[in-house]
Chains A and B, each alone.
Chain A
Amino acid sequence: MKIKHTSEFLREEREGYIFVLPALIFMLAFVGYPIIYNFILSFRDVSVMTISQEVKPFIGLKNYIEVFKDPTMKISIWNTFVFTIGSISIQFVIGLALALFLNLKFKFAQPIRGLMVVSYLIPMTVTALLFKFMYSTSGGIINELLMSVHLISKPIGWIISGNTSMLSVILTNSWVGIPFNMLLLTTGLSNISYTLYEAAQVDGANVIQRFFRITLPELKPAILSVLVLGFIYTFKVFDLVFVMTNGGPVNSTELMSTFAYKLSFTQFSFSKGATVANVLFAILFCVSLGYLGLIKDEEVIG
């Protein structure tokens, strides 16, 4: 869509730049350099043996080839996707349900909405330790509760069994992320004009129709932001999994972020760590390209 670059347009554009550029320059200054640094690092051989050398050897794509030969890499990529999609699905659905429910006008709605936020406020490390504690197989409170209501007969090895470990971290991550989704969707809901609903009711639309025909479409920009940001943040999650399971048992919860950390700071293979991080980066980059595609042109040019 061609836009005529009238002086009017240019003036508006310049004003727009003034609003946007400070933040952008700030980000690029502080985060741009690390991104480039990691990029370059992945093409050199920097490890325990070479870090003391003045000039680190340039080895092109060798790191990438070696990293992909390691079976852990494919496992971690798969795990990261499972973790992210699983968490987002749960967080979003429940967050949306809560946002809608607590938007209704009843007495406890506001205070309870405020209380729900608490799970997001606890630092990740503390949450990870808390859940690690609660998930203990023998004597952990979750197993005790489930057994006392006879839902299970034997304790479940939540984080010691490869079958349930991924589920356990997904549930914990979702618990943390639900308020995030809920709050942002609530803000979005608050912007939907009430008159739209009134008009629909006059036209005879029932609750379900109102939801799908008004709420969802009006909420679309908020939903997209929540989903794309949620995807990026969840894809990067490190503390939670590292503290709870350390990627185990065996590799069942090894994410790309934990794998990269271990390569860099436990095994001192810094280049390989940067390589894994770059693959993570590349995947997220593609995802955000997808997001851009979904933002309607009208919104962008506005």
Chain B
Amino acid sequence: MIKKKTLLACSIAAIMTISLFSGCGSKASTDSTNTTSTEKTKITLWHYFDGQQQQKAMENLAKKFNESQEKTEVSVEFVPRAELTKQFTIGLVADKLPDMGLVDNPDMASFSAMGLFADITGKVNSLEYKEQFFPGPLASCQLDGKYYGLPLGSNDLALFYNKDMFTKAGVEPPTTYAQLKTVAKKLTVEGTTYGLAIAAPKNEEGTFQFLPWLLSTGAKYNEIGSDAGISGLKYLTDLIKDGSMSKEVINWTQNDLEKQFVTNKAAMIIDGPWINSTIKTDAPNLNWGVVKIPKDKVYASTLGGENWGVIKGQHEDEAWEFIKFSQTEDIMNEYCAEFGYIPSRKDIAEKNEKITKDPIMSVFLDELQYAMPRGPHAKWPQISDAMSTAFQESFTNAKTPDRAAKDAQIKIDSILK
């Protein structure tokens, strides 16, 4: 004899379980918003853009494509950035993948090496505008001489500066390392303002921010232990030592930098065009400008932006059609504007007046020719990790810049062997 209560509980559980199955089943079939004929091939795209505007832009792009032809229907799925890497790797193992994926440009090489993306060298070479791509973005789609994707759009890093603080101190925006050092020191007010702020967490974002300082000395991405490389690391460490840069940078993200900038806690920051609209919202009265990152030997910046990739073994041709569609001038300009990106193609970017005539965006465009990809190398994440360890050790004084850089170089050499 079972007690009434137990029976009730069991029935509730049973009903819920049944409702789950039926609920889920019907939901899956009503997922697609289109009730067009089942002739169209359905393909899915994964991306990690979380901003409302960016998500709408992706959906808009898909909608335009779907309306422009009868063969294929693209549906867009958002996967949070941190999850996307996991989902791709789990998907590889479990064989459950979308048809197209958007990845951050430094990750493309690793995913291609893992067999995620299809080799589309032939398709890319057949494009008449192949030469129009900026060298950096296009290089990030390559691995061992083969192409695995096309750039979606690019951005890079530049120096944001507080015009009012500069006028008050009577200084001009710096163009060299030496000038930057002086200006930063001059603008530092103990307890209130730091001259310069960068983001140096121990992850890819930190390496992204660190690279210009390495590349500008003439060292390549895998040469942090060279004399040039050490000097770059030492330069930044010295800025912390003389008080112009806060030690807290080791924990700041690029968004934290924006907060420091708008609350006047940092006179200059290194950041990218994605914060432009946020600055305008947070501090509409702030008088600010952008210049190229000051150089040591050469101008340098790091390449940001994502690449389209066609997943291997699924609907490769249909996916390629979608990617080609996104390359048309109007479409590209439209979605790049919505994303806050610069088109990765010289011919399109230089004709786009919204970019060339804008005092802020034109700097980022100028900087783009100096923006270097990270690698590209399939083992980039490990190289990146060695570098971020090095600058964290140096900034926190755990090791001297010399020692930290050399230790990182040993690791990098063994990774690249």
Contacts and interface: CB of A to CB of B under 8 A. Distances in A.
Contacts of B248: 136-138, 157, 160
Nearest to A158: B251
A206 interface: no
Contacts of B410: none
Contacts of B398: 162, 250
Contacts of B385: 262, 266-267
B57 interface: no
B202 A267 contact: no
Contacts of B382: 267, 269
A157 to B, nearest CB: 7
A207 B92 CA distance: 63
A48 B251 contact: no
Interface in A238-256: 245-251
Contacts of A136: 248
B302 interface: no
B265 interface: yes
A49 interface: yes
B250 interface: yes
Nearest to A132: B251
A48 B378 contact: yes
Contact of A157 (B247, B379, B381, B389): B247
Given A250-B392, A250-B396, A268-B89, A49 B113 contact: yes
Nearest to A254: B202
Contact of B381 (A49, A251, A267): A267
A191 interface: no
B3 interface: no
Nearest to B398: A250
B71 interface: no
Contacts of A250: 202, 389, 392-393, 396, 398
Interface residues of A, number: 27
Contacts of A160: 247-248, 250-251, 396
B125 interface: no
Interface in A131-167: 136-138, 157, 159-162
A184 B247 CA distance: 42
Contact of A247 (B93, B202, B246, B250): B202
B182 interface: no
B201 interface: yes
A162 B398 CA distance: 9
A249 B114 contact: no
Q: Which of B110, B203, B378, B396 lies at the interface centre, i.e. has the most chain A CB atoms within 10 A of its CB? A: B396
Interface in A12-58: 48-49, 51-52
Contacts of A251: 389
Contact of A48 (B246, B379, B393): B379
Nearest to A247: B202
A268 B93 CA distance: 12
Interface in A149-201: 157, 159-162
B270 to A, nearest CB: 19
Contacts of A159: 251
A108 interface: no
A245 B202 CA distance: 9
Interface string B110-128: 1001110000000000000
Q: Which of A49, A160, A250 lies at the interface centre, i.e. has the most chain B CB atoms within 10 A of its CB? A: A250
A212 interface: no
Contact of B110 (A48, A137, A157, A262): A48
Contact of B265 (A52, A138, A247, A262): A138
B210 to A, nearest CB: 14
B85 interface: yes
Contacts of B392: 248-250
Given A246-B202, A268-B110, A52 B389 contact: no
B417 interface: no
Interface in B107-145: 110, 113-115
Given A160-B251, A248-B392, A249-B392, A266 B265 contact: no
B86 interface: yes
Nearest to A161: B396
A229 B381 CA distance: 35
Contacts of A247: 202
Given A157-B248, A268-B110, A49 B378 contact: yes
A167 to B, nearest CB: 15
A265 interface: yes
Nearest to B381: A267
B396 A246 contact: no
Contacts of B265: 138
Given A160-B250, A250-B202, A268 B389 contact: no
A60 B400 CA distance: 38
Contacts of B379: 48, 267
A157 B89 CA distance: 36
A246 B85 CA distance: 17
Given A265-B85, A268-B114, A246 B381 contact: no
Interface string B370-396: 000000001101100100010011001
Contacts of B393: 250
Nearest to A135: B251
Interface in A49-85: 49, 51-52
B376 to A, nearest CB: 13
The 8 closest A-B pairs by CB, nearest first: A52-B115, A248-B202, A267-B381, A160-B251, A51-B114, A250-B392, A267-B382, A137-B248
Interface of A: 48-49, 51-52, 136-138, 157, 159-162, 245-251, 262, 264-270
8 contacts: A49-B113, A49-B378, A52-B114, A137-B246, A138-B246, A160-B396, A249-B251, A250-B393
Given A48-B113, A250-B202, 13 more contacts: A51-B114, A159-B251, A160-B250, A160-B396, A161-B396, A247-B202, A248-B201, A249-B396, A250-B392, A250-B396, A266-B204, A267-B379, A267-B381
Interface of B: 85-86, 89, 92-93, 110, 113-115, 201-204, 246-248, 250-251, 265, 378-379, 381-382, 385, 389, 392-393, 396, 398
